[in-house]
Chain A
Amino acid sequence: MQVPASFEYRRAQSVPDALALLERFGEDARVIAGGHSLLPMMKLRLARPEFLVDINDLHELDYLRQEGAELCIGALTRHRGLLESELVGRLFPIFHDAERVIADPPVRNRGTIGGSLCQADPAEDLSAVCTAVRAVAVVLGAGGRRSVPMADFYRGPYETDVGAGEMLGEIRVPILPDSGSAYQKVERKTGDWAIAACGAALSLADGRIASAGIGLAAVGVSAAGYRRAEQALVGREPSEEVFAEAGRLAAEDCEPVTDTRGTAAYKRHLAGELTERALRLAVERALRPAAAA
């Protein structure tokens, strides 16, 4: 039987209460929401916090709403909430693509977007999604709130910009006109981590790609992100040749390693192919917004 090491538990009553607890316990504290990443790691002693601050009662962090030209996602929003949201599906079908293949229904009933991003598992799907859609993380702390673009939020495997005494409060996603998005993932079996996955989001103007974002999961950390692939798209008319070029650059820039899910060469191949497929679908959706939801 796997049991976590001993820790102290506090159930936060409000955001200020949670922040006060996190401030008091500092580096030894971890936030727990769904717990489906943290508890397995605690059972294996890969994580060993002295204090757990349970934020499941902070319903003020569980919301999905449009504010002007942004989609605002509360950090405590469950995977299921994202998957069942008509608003999310209409604005960013990439989230629905990803949520359908994240774990399984009972896990999605508990797991949260905030937990997924803060866990920062290199194979985690929503980090790639949020990177592709240029999401901004709103980090809460005693000193107020600060906004962190995904590129700066993710510091490396299992490391984020959220410091001691801080917590993720919200994810804000800019809504662009004539935009489309998609997520493509290859996995060994239903609900498994990705062998490789790619999220793509782009907007069109005058028949050309006006902006493009690409995020990959499970193929290593690319120091420069996928800027070369993105730059190969912007200003071009969408076409199979352009998608293939972006896919080739993404495959070159990723840094997969061989493990039980596949060889580095196979993952690199997938990275290119899935980038192409995600771009193709994202453009289709941008051209036919009604079919996106």
Chain B
Amino acid sequence: MQVTINVNGEDHTADVEPRHLLVRFLRDDLGLTGTHWGCDTSNCGTCVVLLDGEPVKSCTMLAVMAAGHQVRTVEGLETADGLDPVQQGFIEQHGLQCGFCTPGMMLTARALLDRDPDPSEQQIREAISGQLCRCTGYLNIVRAVQWAAHHPAAAAAATAPSAGSTP
């Protein structure tokens, strides 16, 4: 059936089977391979994208169910002004090693900061509790989100000499 899904601000229309999963639509049909695909059982959370601004696991959602909704993937984090502060935070605080969980982690962090610009460490840990990271022990991911919270205008400052400073 024909569906139109808005992904990163752009409408995409495609003919898909109802059983087509959103993660496959994003990766295979649109070529947006930043959304990773891991356990396929809604446990690992690497496939998290934002649906109308809130994190959802795209391996456990049909593409047809996303029709008419706004999907944001990691490719949609960067703006014309530069990297999202969350992306910059992951660089500054070494929030990744292998990078497999990173897209979902960053999108979850973005959704959290959109709701609460200054979350506590506990709130950050709860927000990312649906996603597994096997490299960092989560500490640097928490620090990365905190860095982003403390540098809400990081995108504009990303090219400034002080961009590398930590809070």
Contacts and interface: CB of A to CB of B under 8 A. Distances in A.
Tell whether A and B belong to one assembly.
Answer: yes
A104 B129 contact: yes
Which residue, A5, A8, A9, A190, has most C-beta atoms of chain B within 10 A?
Answer: A9
Interface stretch (B61-69, B87-95, B145-153): B61-69
A36 B64 contact: no
Contacts of A191: 129-130
A5 B19 contact: yes
A106 B126 CA distance: 11
A52 B18 contact: yes
A7 B18 contact: yes
A54 B40 CA distance: 21
Given A9-B1, A39-B60, A109 B55 contact: yes
A3 interface: yes
A35 B61 contact: yes
Interface string B47-65: 0100100111100111011
B41 A104 contact: no
Contact of B19 (A6, A11, A104, A105): A6
Contacts of B37: 1
Which residue, A11, A54, A110, A190, has most C-beta atoms of chain B within 10 A?
Answer: A110
B35 interface: no
B140 interface: no
Interface in B6-53: 17-19, 21, 24, 37, 40-42, 45, 48, 51
Contact of B55 (A7, A105, A190): A105
Given A52-B18, A54-B65, A40 B130 contact: no
> What range describes how many residues of B lie at the interface?
20 to 34
Contacts of A9: 1, 18, 62, 64
A284 B6 CA distance: 49
B125 to A, nearest CB: 10
Nearest to A44: B41
A106 B61 contact: no
A107 B18 contact: no
Contact of B130 (A7, A11, A104): A104
Contacts of B65: 32, 35, 54, 56
B102 interface: no
Nearest to B61: A35
Contacts of B64: 9, 11, 54
Contacts of A36: 42, 57, 60
Nearest to B47: A106
A223 B1 CA distance: 45
Contacts of B41: 2, 40, 43
Given A1-B40, A9-B64, A36-B42, A106 B56 contact: yes
11 contacts: A1-B24, A3-B24, A8-B18, A9-B18, A40-B41, A43-B40, A104-B130, A105-B126, A106-B57, A107-B57, A110-B57
Interface of B: 1, 17-19, 21, 24, 37, 40-42, 45, 48, 51, 54-57, 60-62, 64-65, 67, 108, 126-127, 129-131
Interface of A: 1-9, 11, 32, 35-36, 39-40, 43, 52, 54, 56, 103-107, 109-110, 190-191
